[in-house]
A and B are shown apart, each in its own frame.
Chain A
Amino acid sequence: MAKRLLRIFGPLILAAILVVAVLVSPVTFGFKHVSASEERQAAVSLSPNVLKGKRIKQAALKSDYVPFFGSSEWSRIDPMHPSVLAQKYHRDYRPFLLGARGTQSLTNFFVMQNMQGELRNKKAVFVISPQWFVKDGTRKDAFAFYYSQLQTTEWLSHYRNDAIDRYAAKRLLQMPVAKSDHFLYAALQRVAAGKQLTDNERFYLKTKQNMLTQEDQFFSGINLPSQNLNKVNQQAKKLPTHYDYRQLDQLAGRIGKEQTGNNRFQISDSFYNQGLKQELKTGKLKDFQKNLSYTKSPEFGDFQLVLDQFARLNTNVMFIIPPVNAKWSAYTGLSQSMLRQFDRKIRYQLESQGFHNICDLSDKGNVPYFMTDTIHLGWRGWLAVDQKVDPFLSQPQKQPTYKINDKFYSEKWQQLDPAQLTQYEQETK
């Protein structure tokens, strides 16, 4: 009987031992190498697996890639898109696009967790979407979609028990996806309560992190989407050989004009035809954003996580604040004064803590062919970004000095009416 049982279960047990051994061992089996073409593809792929993983990001940022954090704007690839310009004009840097539809500050904070070494004393670009700062902040389902246990375990491995960690843990606990691992959930509860992790928890996190790192090494390169890289290559062909701002600005306007013929909002035809046209017919979109506000949101606290993390890593960051298509917002009733208020509040959070590299385009919503659709930069907008980003990344910059203030984590700040900014500043001095 024993012999027969061994014949049945022997291979099974052996397989189990091998799998566990591979996942637990710190050996990399030569999978760590990332080829240049893989990097090129991953940098513009916007694939959730790249965002959630570690291996490819890390390898690319070690060479001449610079992280461009943001969200859905990255998928608007036209000839003036940062990735296209950098490739065509052989810049010293290449953008590594991080973020896609639905990634907000909290996701970006966790994305930073397994590339800390590649951010320390380096440069980065970060696009702040005003649309993140709605009443409820980040959407729970979108956060779940981009949630990475690998990033969470990495973050907890350099956990120091101060404001940034407690706030991040508190926010994570509010997300249903945090329950996807019961032990991790228990550890988060301790962190949020300001307690030390137990030895068992540390051991568990270490093992889990090791396993997930191995998984990432084996699988993150599989099935990398290539269509975005093709788009970049195609768009680059439309550009003149030599960089000349005035010529490019004219070209951007011309392409914009060509591609926005069928509607009165100067929204690209293809975007307009994808459902917007149908929805407009219902008439429900008229004035539907009348009462929308971006001035009070938990997102301000989440954004502080990002700033705090950049400051701790001494990363020099260029922030971009895009406008809203003015023709569109006039139709939907989105308040211009509210947008200005939002701009004041976010700029206060940035500047009062020493973040002075800001490319504030919030007043450019009226410029023709600046936006490709309702809220996303395109053609001339991308070119305006390039005017700031290229010199920032290509030339040496003075090291910034940051003064982080934990008051920006407070509920009071998140819900502060920007009209009371001056008063708030006095009170919290």
Chain B
Amino acid sequence: MLSFEPYGNPTYFALLGVALLPLMIGLLYGKRSRLYETLISIFFLILTFGGPKWTQGIALIIYILYEVALTWGYAVYRKQKNSGPVFYLMVILAILPLTIVKVTPAVENGQASLIGFLGISYLTFRAVQTMMETRDGTLKDYNIMTFLQFMLFFPTISSGPIDRYRRFEQDYRTVPSREKYLGMIQKGVRYIFVGFLYKFLLAYYFGTILMPKLQIMAMHSRGGFMDLSWPVLGYMYAYSADLFFDFAGYSLFAVGTSYLMGIETPMNFKQPWRSPNIKDFWNRWHITLSFWFRDFIYMRLVFWFMKHRMFKSPRTTANVTYIINMLVMGFWHGVTWYYITYGLFHGVALVVNDAWLRYKKKHRESVPHNRFTQLFAIFLTANLVCFSFLIFSGFLNTLWFTK
């Protein structure tokens, strides 16, 4: 039985090309065949979750049925009533499987949970978001079939980008004009090829060639202050480069493939390394995730705190929420000290950043602002981010706590 990592090798792309061809011809002539789309979706899902990984496939099917029952049940309920506790209960139930998957390795000596599968986080984000918009009343016509297509849209199933139900539905229900679709094909093909450069050349160089060497060198030069050495610094940059090119490359494949299917999945990265501050960084890095956190955790917490008058000043409210928001993101990555520290680090960085921007606004005359300070800001932000990725990589854990 054939089995593939999504976008993992040339054969996968060849199959993708063959499978998409009829669909593309259809779209060029203004036709969208739901049946054909469903069939190739199933085909690629089997390629990803079948064969030796069939246990993941079973977990995926059960998970999907469970989330459909929850979201559909809540949509039906919401038409009649709107009670807070019911909503909270439903959200808790929706994130329960993800929570189990994330906590299991921490309490079971690193063993993976049986109910886990590649991409469970991203599906949970989509389901919870559907539920929240149902509660808000912005999503009125929940449809099971559309929800299934939205959840199981194969180009983005394993690692996002995280689309929104209503945005997806709009694309999915319509056929782009020929002129527009040709533009999408052009963009899609370009994205996929930039993805090749990112993932198979640059990420390969940094991640597969450079990183292991630096890792060995760093392990050999332990013994100094906190076991730090130049190779650790090198590792930090190599890891950051690998993380970016690997993930951005993958995202480009996912977005490019979506475009070829006439779906404008949102972009995930927007030149993150030129951010002048950490807040801007999160508007450019893993955008669909940080916007999801902004819309469904940050904004809601701020609103809730203000409604219940938890803090006197709006400034405190914002700061507390930053920290909680980033801590949740840290926990979501996994229950280990380094993910949680990473979350905390970014939470604090956001608080400091806000304080600095306020200070700068107040003392506009005395704080210089020119090309040099801008470059310095970019340099500082990039290095802070790389440092946070060093924490995130877990390498410090290996460096300090292994024999």
Contact = CB atoms under 8 A, between A and B. Distances in A.
A1 B403 contact: no
Contact of A12 (B178, B189, B209, B403): B189
A140 to B, nearest CB: 16
B189 A9 contact: yes
Contacts of A8: 182, 185-186, 189
A8 B28 CA distance: 14
Interface residues of A, number: 9
Contacts of A12: 189, 193
Interface string B104-133: 000000000000000000000000000000
A420 interface: no
A1 B178 CA distance: 9
A7 B28 CA distance: 16
A1 B28 contact: yes
Contact of B403 (A4, A7, A223, A278): A278
Interface string B171-193: 00000001000100110010001
A5 B182 contact: yes
Interface string B370-403: 0000000000000000000000000000000001
Contacts of B185: 5, 8
Interface in A1-22: 1, 4-5, 7-9, 12
Interface in A331-354: none
Interface residues of B, number: 9
**Chain B facing A: main interface SS:** helix
Contacts of A5: 182, 185
Contacts of A223: 209
Contacts of B186: 4, 7-8
Nearest to A275: B403
Contacts of B403: 278
Interface in B196-219: 209
A353 B182 CA distance: 71
Contacts of A7: 186
A8 B186 CA distance: 6
B47 to A, nearest CB: 14
Contacts of B28: 1
Q: Which 3 A-B pairs have the closest CB atoms?
A: A8-B186, A4-B182, A8-B189
17 contacts: A1-B28, A1-B178, A1-B182, A4-B182, A4-B186, A5-B182, A5-B185, A7-B186, A8-B182, A8-B185, A8-B186, A8-B189, A9-B189, A12-B189, A12-B193, A223-B209, A278-B403
Interface of A: 1, 4-5, 7-9, 12, 223, 278
Given A1-B182, A8-B189, 15 more contacts: A1-B28, A1-B178, A4-B182, A4-B186, A5-B182, A5-B185, A7-B186, A8-B182, A8-B185, A8-B186, A9-B189, A12-B189, A12-B193, A223-B209, A278-B403
